[in-house]
Structure 1
């Protein structure tokens, strides 16, 4: 549902510029009032998956986790780590979001008030605010209280009820929160003032979004195969992929670190590389069906991007030559582990898989260098913190896990 950038310096773009509050474009903003509350039937609680696992006689995987958080009572959909690396937040199917200690697993704060599955949780770039977002559109932003031995619940700095939501993300250098809706609109909030505007969609669900490295544009993918590049200041669509480039649901978008290229993927296995300045499609590649993740390596010297599929294919591509450099999942064991999430950590590719494992591949060779186990069902979210050199995962098994990153970071 989102990309994480560790140790990113604050952008020169501030929230006022993104929100169009510099006086030039204020008339173009679409301000929203309160929306009627939408009632939903309660979801059935998931069966006890741990018992199911034991009932079929399957052997539990070895648990490499340094900490297991098991307070959720359903699938844990999303997670984030505070910039300090000391605090985690998780959200799940049980309509709950918890803030907890990475070291002890103790709950620091119960983010109460959600009415549906929590699908996005995240700390702002400076660690000052926490956003928790549920499926039926309730958005809550909490003021982080990181004082030791604090007893008071974190205060709510901003609250809003939108339409049904599908994803959320924070701006990497400003206190701006962005949420995509099932109806196709994209909400942009300035925090904590609550100034709100909408990038109006075309009545088709938006599936994913990513902010360009310049901080003032947003790439968004939609269920009907459309990809749009939005100007966050003016609400204008700068570019849109030509019709037919993607003929099915766009499952992921990512941006080259040099701000010059957009990659988008769809479930039919199509990969489009588009120049960011004029929206020209420079390459259309055919990969395996069920493409689930695309990520550019942030090391421009390597010049790689990676693709992961639900059927277990993991490939590292040479961006300039538009060709596969490494097919990582070479063994039958790897191929059987479909990919749900991928991130680059320096020049290593980290993948969360359907079998509950986290696999690490060396970007330069494509070889698998480590596999972390402990979950007994699919990994649903995955983040990394460089300061503490740890990985946080969430799973369909109802738990979140902290793993020590098996390769020393540049900070060590």
Structure 2
């Protein structure tokens, strides 16, 4: 709320002058007095509301562990394949490796120059990659001996341009990072061999590997979607121009390699074939469309869409029809979705209110709600070995929740 301007000159009217005023001037001054009282009352109401918001009880904390060593927002996370170690990166230019059981810091990834926006273990758990916004990429050799106090050695380091994302290949020691320039860097670890998938002078926003392990689909700020061959550095397919009119915000690939789904900030959903880039479906969702995810079990035939204004929809991929509008059956207020992953036939969503909501894919019913965070969820992941969900939040914490995917809970 804006207050009075500080350079407003003081009134020259004194109490003695009021006595000599005519009726119109007196009425005007009386009106000003009433306005002052109204402003004072409104300010008191605002203050009372702020105090009420501050005094609101925090949500019930259902997590089994809280990690609070970061200062500021915690942007990203990953779990070691064993499920024993977590890694988180944040606004404080730091990444920490810590124990899932105790929360004790195992290793601090030092040397970053900006907010850490990507952390991740390689598929075999042998290496850890951390990357910051300024483009500094570090790959550490993991030391899983809990009794060993030596720092984890650097296996590879590279300074690129400003980065937008990072991801590991799901079956090889290959690290992929996208840049603001539109270039995509592909690193072989630990040798450090580098390939560059050259962009077209527009920011690359997101990317996802196909399950064949040799192709990568990427979405760009101008709406372009390209399929790259990682062996030849060639663009295999590009969906037809002007399909997306705005920035591609998220992308995913079907588990059988045949379909890719991309979403843009104007709410458009495009389904295209991976073989020739032909558009086979165009859907219009909400303008605040944030995330898309295919169920990884091809027998399900589902993909899900999540929006920042609270819609969670489970779609039939073949028919391109909504099967379930999950949030429509909730008695609670609708809350926006920031992150979304499938585990078997369960859809795990991270939300703007800090809660984790889990939906049964076949029925669309909410089977679990996990609370604890006081602000929006920024990242999440799941480890099947330990049956734990790791989340990070704008509230400066990371949390571990226990959840056995095979057991629905009310």
Q: TM-score, normalised by structure 1?
A: 0.85
2: distance between equivalents of 1:76 and 1:386?
Answer: 23
Cα 1:266/1:334, change in 2 over 3 Å: farther
2: distance between equivalents of 1:318 and 1:180?
Answer: 31
User: Which among 144, 156, 161 is matched to residue 146 of structure 1?
Assistant: 144
Shift of 1:299: 1.4
> Structure 1 residue 238 and structure 2 residue 250: aligned?
no
Provide, for residues 289-335 of structure 1, a one-character-per-residue CA deviation record: whole Å limited to 9, x for no partner.
Answer: 11111000011111000000011000000000000000000156655
2: distance between equivalents of 1:258 and 1:365?
Answer: 23
Cα 1:407/1:175, change in 2 over 3 Å: closer
User: Which among 311, 319, 322 is matched to residue 321 of structure 1?
Assistant: 319
Alignment of 1:120-199 (within 5 A): 120-199=118-197
Q: Is the 8 A contact 2:335 2:352 kept in 1?
A: yes
Q: Is the 8 A contact 2:131 2:166 kept in 1?
A: yes
User: Which among 98, 105, 108 is matched to residue 107 of structure 1?
Assistant: 105
What SS does structure 2 have at the residue aligned with 1:213?
Answer: coil
Cα 1:400/1:162, change in 2 over 3 Å: same
> Structure 1 residue 262 and structure 2 residue 266: aligned?
no
Greater Cα radius of gyration, structure 1 or 2: 2
Return 5+ residue gaps in structure 2 as ranges. Answer: 1-49
Return 5+ residue gaps in structure 1 as ranges. Answer: 1-51
Task: Tell me which of the two structures has the higher relative contact order, counting C-alpha pairs closer than 8 angstroms and 6 or more residues apart.
Answer: 1
> Structure 1 residue 402 and structure 2 residue 400: aligned?
yes
Provide, for residues 100-156 of structure 1, a one-character-per-residue CA deviation record: whole Å limited to 9, x for no partner.
Answer: 000000000000000000000000000000000000000000000001311001000
User: Which among 306, 309, 316 is matched to residue 308 of structure 1?
Assistant: 306
User: Which among 272, 275, 295 is matched to residue 274 of structure 1?
Assistant: 272
2: distance between equivalents of 1:53 and 1:237?
Answer: 56
Partner of 1:89: 87
Q: Is the 8 A contact 2:346 2:405 kept in 1?
A: no
Partner of 1:228: 226
Cα 1:363/1:74, change in 2 over 3 Å: same
Alignment of 1:373-412 (within 5 A): 373-408=371-406
Q: TM-score, normalised by structure 2?
A: 0.86
What SS does structure 1 have at the residue aligned with 2:328?
Answer: coil
Provide, for residues 18-48 of structure 1, a one-character-per-residue CA deviation record: whole Å limited to 9, x for no partner.
Answer: xxxxxxxxxxxxxxxxxxxxxxxxxxxxxxx
User: Which among 211, 214, 221 is matched to residue 213 of structure 1?
Assistant: 211
Deviates more, 1:388-397 or 1:231-240: 231-240
1: distance between equivalents of 2:60 and 2:329?
Answer: 20
CA RMSD of aligned residues (A): 1.5
> Structure 1 residue 77 and structure 2 residue 75: aligned?
yes
Q: Is the 8 A contact 1:349 1:360 kept in 2?
A: yes
2: distance between equivalents of 1:140 and 1:409?
Answer: 38
1: distance between equivalents of 2:332 and 2:95?
Answer: 32
Shift of 1:209: 0.5
Q: Is the 8 A contact 1:311 1:335 kept in 2?
A: no
Identify the structure with the greater helix proportion.
Answer: 2
What SS does structure 2 have at the residue aligned with 1:329?
Answer: helix
Q: Is the 8 A contact 2:326 2:366 kept in 1?
A: yes
Q: Is the 8 A contact 2:343 2:405 kept in 1?
A: no
2: distance between equivalents of 1:278 and 1:386?
Answer: 35
Shift of 1:58: 2.1
